[in-house]
Amino acid sequence: MEDDSSHAKSGLPSDFRFNRQQPWEPDSHSSKAVIEFLDRSTNAAMGRYTGGLSPSALATAYLDWLLHLSASPGKKLQLNQKALKKIARFQDYMRRSFWKPDTSERCIDPLPQDDRFDHALWNTWPFNYISQSFLLTQQWWHNATSDIPGVMPEHERIVEFCARQALDILSPSNFVLTNPEVLQKTILEGGMNLVRGWQNFTEDLDRLASGKGPVDSEEFIVGDDVATTPGHVIYRNCLMELIQYSPSTEKVRAEPILIVPAWIMKYYVLDLSPENSLVRYLVDEGYTVFMISWKNPGPEDRELGFDDYRRLGVLSAVDVIQKIAPNRGIHGVGYCLGGTLLGVTAASLATNTEDPFASLSFFASQFDFTEAGELMLFITESQVSFLEDVMWEQGFLDTSQMTGAFQMIRSNDLIWSRIEHDYLMGERRPMNDMMAWNADTTRMPYRMHSEYLRHFFLNNDLAEGRYRVDGRVVSISNIRLPIFSLATTKDHVAPWRSVFKVHMLADTEVTFLLTSGGHNAGVVSEPGHEGRSFRISTAKQDDYLIGADLWITEAKEREGSWWPEWSNWLSQRSTERVDPPGTKWVNQDGTVASDGEVCRFPAPGTYVLMN
């Protein structure tokens, strides 16, 4: 049985007792305990059918929008006027395109990120009328769900998002008879594309039901095809394994690199195939690289909190590295949530006389969460409370619930384009290493995820000076080390303008780099990768701050990968080259194994293989 202090930390009532067979049981027959138990159980059961989305949150947002719209005659009059104007524009387009179908200018263009109607066949009759009417309808609904006087901003975003999702379901690109590409292929192949599509659908359904990954994902075996950079696990505890990669150069830079990946994903996105492995690139550049590989938590890990990840993860890794390579500063690198964790850890250590870090690099990491993109649609008090009840029963946030949220944010790219390509066109996209890694998902402990959502996303405690470590408030402004901050242009998880706010929080030199690509593909941007570009600038500690919009107009775009630019940044903040440090196993009590004892596990270790 756990003591009352653990319940206080987790925010649960003291009269609840943890049980290995059942999530929670009332410790007494008190009415409060029974009532809360019933409420949580009901919400958890409901969450199985809603994908973790709170019906109350959606209903509240919808009613807020509907009631304020009904009480806004001016807005309703404006919507009627817009509808009449759109009908007139569409009729004018029909008239012009009837006489000059090849040269008539469209009455509305899709958004830049919308490529559903790019094919030339969409400009032919009657599909040009179908697509244009759909886009006009989509634009009208955007007007109808936004700028309603009195509606709470978060409710407005939810309603607008849900309306867009509903319209995307009804998009003419999703149906055989209204999609000219699919219709042409169906006629030419005598419907065999639909037969193959049905086979693809049933195969995907079967694999989903049996818990298997996407088709051909098993061809990318961890340790054989991906995550192949040589190394050894030199330390393990209940939460992480620490990998030390073998040197590939005679001399290495004195300062090692510690990479802290997000626990929402497996670390080997940074060590994919040999040709696009950031780890291998750093090793070949003469760095000693250490990588944290997080354990995939189960129900027994439900009480692991954010501070456990700090202590058992980052701090334990730092202690081990200092035993392997003593008296050397560490280049700390954090990716996504791992960057937030690294920033909190570095800020808590900043006042120490001996700071273990030499520099800090953050990849797509946020410290101010007020503009954290469409992911904030799922971060309201109602939604977080509902999600906590779902996790309370399971002990963790399931992979399907996380994946569903991310897919909804990018539904056109991740859901509807796949339905069109795989099921209507009857084709399969070839599996690649990034897709296979993306399907190798992880879970998150109940307590940690609840704390992360509340302290960072919901309350923004870190940026607003309320987040505490060991009872003391920590601030990113306490960091005096040089910072390298990477953002990507198409990031739906950590939008680049949100990442840019590190300038406003850190009181030190900040080098900010904005690269093309998305949250993961933009980071995995090896030299020679076609179509890659970036912008970069350095703000000294005493420089005047500028906003993100002004920054992007002043920073010149450069072609190529950002990896060499970052490697050069690290080298300028490193000292001499030395002999590579040895590889030794470190016990959990901190003692280093004797010279004759070899490390027990080769990279990639065992935690990364946990399903």
Active site residues: 336
What is the DSSP annotation of 369-431?
-TT-GGGGGG-SHHHHHHHHHHHHHHSEE-HHHHHHHHHHHTHIIIIIHHIIIIIIS---PPP
Q: Is 269 exposed, middle or buried (0-12, 13-18, 19+ CB in 10 A)?
A: buried
For β-strands 16-18 and 24-26, DSSP reports them as antiparallel
> The tokens 């999702």 sit on which residue?
165
CA 47 to CA 391: how far, in whole Å? 9
What is the DSSP annotation of 249-304?
SSSEESS-EEEE--TTS-GGGGS-SGGG-HHHHHHHTT--EEEEEE----GGGTT-
List of residues 6+ apart from 299 with CB closer than 8 A: 23, 394, 395, 396
Residue 610 vs residues 441, 472, 568: alpha-carbon distances, Å: 10, 36, 36
CA 41 to CA 22: how far, in whole Å? 11
CA 119 to CA 135: how far, in whole Å? 15
CA–chain centroid gap for 477, Å, is: 25
For residue 441, give both structure tokens.
């998902």
CA 221 to CA 209: how far, in whole Å? 22
CA 323 to CA 140: how far, in whole Å? 63
CA 470 to CA 465: how far, in whole Å? 15
For residue 359, give both structure tokens.
């520099």
CA 333 to CA 485: how far, in whole Å? 10
What is the DSSP annotation of 176-196?
TTT-HHHHHHHHHHTTHHHHH
What is the DSSP annotation of 81-107?
HHHHHHHHHHHHHHHHHHH-TTTPPPS
CA 173 to CA 534: how far, in whole Å? 33
Which residue, 413, 382, 376, is CA-closest to 157? 376
User: Residue 606 CB: number of other CB atoms within 10 A?
Assistant: 13
Give the end-to-end CA distance of the chain in Å, rounded to a whole number. 28
Residue 578 vs residues 247, 249, 424, 575, 581: alpha-carbon distances, Å: 12, 11, 59, 9, 9
Residue 542 vs residues 377, 502, 510, 539: alpha-carbon distances, Å: 36, 15, 11, 8
User: Residue 598 CB: number of other CB atoms within 10 A?
Assistant: 11
SS3 559: strand
Amino acid at 56: S
Amino acid at 465: G
> The tokens 């992979």 sit on which residue?
399
SS3 374: helix
SS3 533: strand
